[in-house]
Amino acid sequence: MTLILKNIHKLYRVAQQGERFKTGAAMSDAVCLEQAWLAVEAGRITAFGQMDAFPHEAYAGAETIDCTGKLVMPGFVDSHTHLVFPKTREQEFVYRLQGISYEEIAKRGGGILNSAKATQQISEEQLLAETLERAREIISLGTTTVEIKSGYGLTLDSELKLLRVAKKVQQEMPLRVKTTFLGAHAIPVEWQSNRQGYIDLVCEEMLPQVIEEGLADYIDVFCDTGFFTVEETEYILQKGLDAGLPAKIHANELDFSGGVQVGVKMGAYSVDHLERSGPDEIEALKGSETVPTLLPSVAFFLGIDYGPARGMIEAELPLALATDYNPGSSPGGSMPFVMSLACLGMRMLPEEALVASTLNAAFSMRMSEEIGSIEVGKYADLVITRPMDQLARIPYSYAQNPVETTIINGKVVHTTR
């Protein structure tokens, strides 16, 4: 089956053939083709070009979507989420409005531990139902690949429950899903006087079971003040690596935690958050292939500083963006809104935000040979926008959903047409 997108007002390819990621000045070039067409066969992009050279005869009779006045770009790659969670936490939002800090709420048993309690109580079926609703929502916002973490379980059974649900999302939805084991998200109350005991539970009981059931692609640790130390992080990541799981970690959200440095040392695919980072962290990342992933909706929602995106781009780092969709620090999964915040909060250009939300995010999961740009041979994971003139309209119209149609594997999985 062939699918043709024709009369595309602007086709943002994001990359030329074969780039694994983009850095520096290249990030502001989204490789835009005007008046374009695109062909998809067997789920893959097979050809594209400009309308004045459209091979009408070759594609006679093919299913066609007319994209007059619309933009086409790669589907968004949301490389950091906690999509599987039992319930929202708006009461903590109210506490913060009353002046209690995020850290203080966590110390009082709110935060991650609050979600962990609820995860232990909810059935796998109910958890799946809640998660599928969010999966549908993010597809309608143009996300075509999503990374999903555990970390709201903190017991063997609950961590497995979260990862099994994440895997079911992959089976039941057209979405491309990768999963991450985040048993080391917080120390549960009952382990607080025996941290190593909990770490042993993560490494010696949870991790082997996760591997046995094939439930995770990556391992994560929340390396920050009040959570896991640099030494603990290194210990856990090494266990993960030994079991075949590369790292994507939470670092430097609350403090200059050393998380970036330990991530680089351990060859992490990405270090995420980085709100608290400066020249030392940028220096540590230089020359590595560890992707700094900024999550500007966390800065927006918690009212903390945004990460230093401009410094990272100047330093030629392969900067990525993600939503961190979770009930505590980013209760939303809109990549278009993240692009707005990247522009408004971190002075990224729309093209840079697109590259960071597609190709570089794919590279942060080492998937950029298959997705993240419009190149012949890659999966046909695409977004068709509503009618608009240029890319900047996406971050500009921050409260609108710019997505009209989402295509995954060459199939229309959402459309408002």
* Number of other CB atoms surrounding residue 288 within 10 Å: 17
78 binds ligand NIG (CB under 6 A): no
Query: What is the length of the chain?
Result: 417
Give the nearest distance from C-beta 225 to ligand NIG in angstroms: 11
Nearer to ligand NIG by Cβ, of 257 and 340: the residue is 257
Give the nearest distance from C-beta 401 to ligand NIG in angstroms: 23
Paired tokens of 294: 């900024």
Given a contact cutoff of 8 angstroms between Cβ atoms, the answer to whether 77 and 357 are in contact is yes
**Which of the listed partners (ligand NIG, Fe ion, none) does 402 bind, with a CB threshold of 5 to 8 Å by partner kind?**
none
Who's near 267: CB < 8 A, 6+ residues apart?
241, 246, 247, 288, 290
**Which of the listed partners (Fe ion, ligand NIG, none) does 252 bind, with a CB threshold of 5 to 8 Å by partner kind?**
none
d(CA 396, CA 374) in angstroms, rounded, equals 23
Query: Which positions from 212 through 241 interact with ligand NIG, judged by CB under 6 A?
Result: 222
Give the nearest distance from C-beta 187 to ligand NIG in angstroms: 13
The one among 328, 345, 350, 402 contacting ligand NIG by CB under 6 A: 328
The one among 27, 160, 249, 298 contacting ligand NIG by CB under 6 A: 298
Helix axes 156-172, 124-140, angle to 10 degrees: 50
271 binds ligand NIG (CB under 6 A): no
**Which of the listed partners (ligand NIG, Fe ion, none) does 355 bind, with a CB threshold of 5 to 8 Å by partner kind?**
none
329 binds ligand NIG (CB under 6 A): yes
- Contact segment (CB under 6 A) with ligand NIG among 107-115, 211-219, 233-241, 371-379 equals 107-115
d(CA 132, CA 129) in angstroms, rounded, equals 5
The one among 326, 340, 360, 368 contacting ligand NIG by CB under 6 A: 326
**Which of the listed partners (ligand NIG, Fe ion, none) does 183 bind, with a CB threshold of 5 to 8 Å by partner kind?**
none
Helix (H) or strand (E) holding 337: helix 335-346
Phi, psi of 231 (to 5 degrees): -65, -45
Q: Tell me the β-bridge partners of 414.
A: 406
DSSP-H helix ranges across 108-251: 111-121, 124-140, 156-172, 195-200, 207-212, 230-242
Give the nearest distance from C-beta 102 to ligand NIG in angstroms: 7
Residue with tokens 């230093």: 308
Query: Which positions from 108 through 167 interact with ligand NIG, judged by CB under 6 A?
Result: 111-112, 115
Residue 23: name the closest of 249, 283, 285, 360 by CA. 360
Nearer to ligand NIG by Cβ, of 272 and 375: the residue is 272
Question: CA dihedral defined by 265, 237, 281, 149, rounded to 10 degrees?
Answer: 150
The one among 324, 351, 381, 404 contacting ligand NIG by CB under 6 A: 324
253 binds ligand NIG (CB under 6 A): yes
Give the nearest distance from C-beta 218 to ligand NIG in angstroms: 14
Nearer to ligand NIG by Cβ, of 12 and 85: the residue is 85
Contacting residues toward ligand NIG, per CB under 6 A: 111-112, 115, 222, 250, 253, 298, 324, 326-329
